[in-house]
Chains A and B, each alone.
Chain A
Amino acid sequence: MYSWRKIREKLFTFTIILLSLLAIAPIIHMIIVVSINGIVTFVKAGTSFFTGLPPTPLSQEIGGIAPSIIGTLLMTAISLPITITLAIFAAILATEFPKNPISVAIDAIAKSLASIPTIAVSMIVYTVVVVPMKGFSALAGALALTIVALPYAYTYFSTALRSVPAVYREAALSVAMSRWGTVIRVLIPIARNGIAIGVLMTMARIMGETAALLFTAGRFRNRVSITPSKPVDAVPLLIFDYILSPYDIWHQVAWGATAFLLLAYIAIFFAVKLIVKEVKL
């Protein structure tokens, strides 16, 4: 019937718009709520939130999360270069020898690595690094983060390299460039936007990862530490511990830290969007 068709159409449109709004609503609510609660903490604590030490459970002062921020930065500084180097080599191999069985294997291996639950990574690095070292450390944490981030970095980089039109590789070969020359002088520069995006997204992943640090980093948050072989804290870890605790002051700190993490993530996201705009082939 003609009108029944139209009604069905309108009903359908209405339902999916409603459900779509429902799908997006959480993130909007999340951003608003985290910002508000975070700002409350920031205002109460002042700039010492980024320079001070965390409070004791019954304290009235909010203190700060400096050890966690430094810890996150330290582990990122160790993990990011390693992750990027390993991933870019694997991506180059997969792009330069696409039909080779090893390249196909690398794709499959990356996929498998990505399906390993991050808490398992934490357990593995615990057994392999923390136990022999007889203690938690920033190094162990960074290693766990590397394992988690590798498959993502590899996917970003291989997508970026694969998107370089084949004609430029041919042009490079025709001016007698070597294989490595082609990669370094032509492929990578042309793919630099995609690679930059990959680096930033990998960094965001590393900075926001929690489960992989549970049994590796050590949760040392009483002092700022930059020794890689000693225990360290991280912002997501602090949030996890504090939000699970029953203490109100720690909840406030957790909100502040969450807002800080959210801000850092959004900043990286915007940087990525700016780079994407710049694509011009």
Chain B
Amino acid sequence: MMTRKDKLFFISLLPLSSSLLTILVLSIATVALKSLDSLQTFGLNLLISSTWNPERGVYGFLAPLIGSVTTSILAVITALFLSLPLTIIIAEYLRGIVKNVVSSIVELMGGMPTIIYAVWASQYLVPFLKEFIMEPLHNVFKFIPLFSCRPITGFSIFASGISIGISIVPYVTAIILEAHQSIPLAYREACYGIGATRYESIKIMLSLARPAIVAALILGFARSLGETTIAAVTVGNSMYLSSCLFAPGYTVSALIASQFANAHLYPYAESVLYASILFVMMISIALSFYGSSTIIRWRSRIVV
């Protein structure tokens, strides 16, 4: 029941609150409009080719697009192997002060500026990966196309994927932990009630939480797509599209980071870059919505 005073209150809040809508609309409109030029001129060619020659007016961002997707997939796999155990440890094994400390460390990691991750990754993680993981894998499995090229500097799709993966671990962990808190105590007690060991009851919890875990990974994927600084310093900045994970490559954000500043010198270059981020944006927003709504639906289903 809205009285006149309630309506006035509502209206007084509206202008500043609607700034969020204005910003969103402005952002999407700008990206869409600026992409128009290159989309009309080059059309689907942009998506199919990976030749990048601004001076000759030849553009194709297939390589960075695939690079973004591949690094994000690697990131999510990394996050899966690291976040899930971490969540289980925090939720089921730790208590008291230790739990507080570990949770705080995860929180700390989560808000850390990504540039710090980027510096650490480019100076320490990548050389480590090159020597202890990439080269051995290459030496043993070089018949598999994924590992067929010899890592020279270590900067590659693989290194970038792992680096980004490490940076999204806190984010994914937080989402899964929150989902775990939502599971009613009744279910957990039921597990112990039927004589399950800790491992078995955790397995049951995990299967219960599976939609939420998948959603967390989808949200992590969306987050990785947009990651710029870590990608720019670890991916190797090469437009060469290869099936080998250890070769240097590009992601859309890394491409933009290195090319946008000079893009105004070449016709269509800016527009092409806008088009490339438009794709990433659309995928990212769609996946974010899908991920969040999955969690919301899951939560309403499991509440007793």
Whether A associates with B in a native complex is yes
Assembled-state Cα–Cα distance A279/B146 (Å): 53
- Tell whether, in the assembled complex, residue A258 and residue B257 are in contact, meaning their CB atoms are under 8 Å apart: no
Interface residues of A in 239-262 (CB under 8 A from B): 239-240, 243-244, 254-255, 258, 261-262
Q: Which residues of chain B are within 8 angstroms of A115 by Cβ–Cβ distance?
A: 222, 226, 281, 284-285, 287-288
Q: Which residues of chain A are within 8 angstroms of B284 by Cβ–Cβ distance?
A: 115-117
Q: Which residues of chain A are within 8 angstroms of B157 by Cβ–Cβ distance?
A: none
Q: Which residues of chain A are within 8 angstroms of B302 by Cβ–Cβ distance?
A: none
- Tell whether, in the assembled complex, residue B119 and residue A113 are in contact, meaning their CB atoms are under 8 Å apart: no
Q: Which residues of chain A are within 8 angstroms of B285 by Cβ–Cβ distance?
A: 112, 115-116
- Tell whether, in the assembled complex, residue B27 and residue A147 are in contact, meaning their CB atoms are under 8 Å apart: yes
Name which residue of chain B comes closest to A26, CB basis.
B166
- Tell whether, in the assembled complex, residue A243 and residue B123 are in contact, meaning their CB atoms are under 8 Å apart: yes
Q: How far is the CB of B199 from chain A (nearest CB, A)?
A: 4
Q: Classify the secondary structure of A's interface with B.
A: helix
Assembled-state Cα–Cα distance A236/B124 (Å): 19
Q: Indicate whether A175 reaches chain B with its CB closer than 8 angstroms.
A: no
Chain B interface residue count, CB cutoff 8 Å, equals 80
- Tell whether, in the assembled complex, residue A9 and residue B118 are in contact, meaning their CB atoms are under 8 Å apart: no
Q: How far is the CB of B268 from chain A (nearest CB, A)?
A: 15
Interface 9-mer from B55-63, B102-110, B133-141: B102-110
- Tell whether, in the assembled complex, residue A243 and residue B19 are in contact, meaning their CB atoms are under 8 Å apart: no
Assembled-state Cα–Cα distance A13/B197 (Å): 11
- Tell whether, in the assembled complex, residue B109 and residue A27 are in contact, meaning their CB atoms are under 8 Å apart: yes
Q: Classify the secondary structure of B's interface with A.
A: helix
Q: How far is the CB of A61 from chain B (nearest CB, A)?
A: 22
Q: Indicate whether B96 reaches chain A with its CB closer than 8 angstroms.
A: no
Most B-side CB within 10 Å, residue of A123, A240, A269: A123
Q: Indicate whether A105 reaches chain B with its CB closer than 8 angstroms.
A: yes
Q: Which residues of chain B are within 8 angstroms of A254 by Cβ–Cβ distance?
A: 119
Known: A117-B284, A244-B232, A262-B116. A9 touches B125 (CB 8 A): no
- Tell whether, in the assembled complex, residue B115 and residue A261 are in contact, meaning their CB atoms are under 8 Å apart: yes
Q: Of B86, B107, B118, which is within 8 A of A24 by CB?
A: B86
Q: Indicate whether B176 reaches chain A with its CB closer than 8 angstroms.
A: no
Q: Of B10, B20, B27, which is within 8 A of A86 by CB?
A: B20
Q: Which residues of chain A are within 8 angstroms of B232 by Cβ–Cβ distance?
A: 240, 244
**Inter-chain pairs besides A20-B85, A121-B27, 14 sampled, C-beta below 8 Å:** A9-B198, A17-B85, A20-B82, A22-B82, A27-B105, A89-B16, A90-B16, A118-B226, A179-B9, A204-B113, A211-B229, A214-B228, A243-B118, A261-B113
List the 3 closest A-B pairs by CB distance, nearest first.
A208-B113, A117-B226, A19-B85
Chain A interface (Cβ < 8 Å from any Cβ of B):
5-6, 8-9, 12-13, 15-20, 22-24, 26-27, 29-30, 33-34, 85-86, 89-90, 92-93, 96-97, 100, 102, 105-106, 108-121, 123-124, 126-128, 147, 150-151, 154, 178-180, 201, 204-205, 207-211, 214-215, 236, 239-240, 243-244, 254-255, 258, 261-262, 265-266, 269, 273
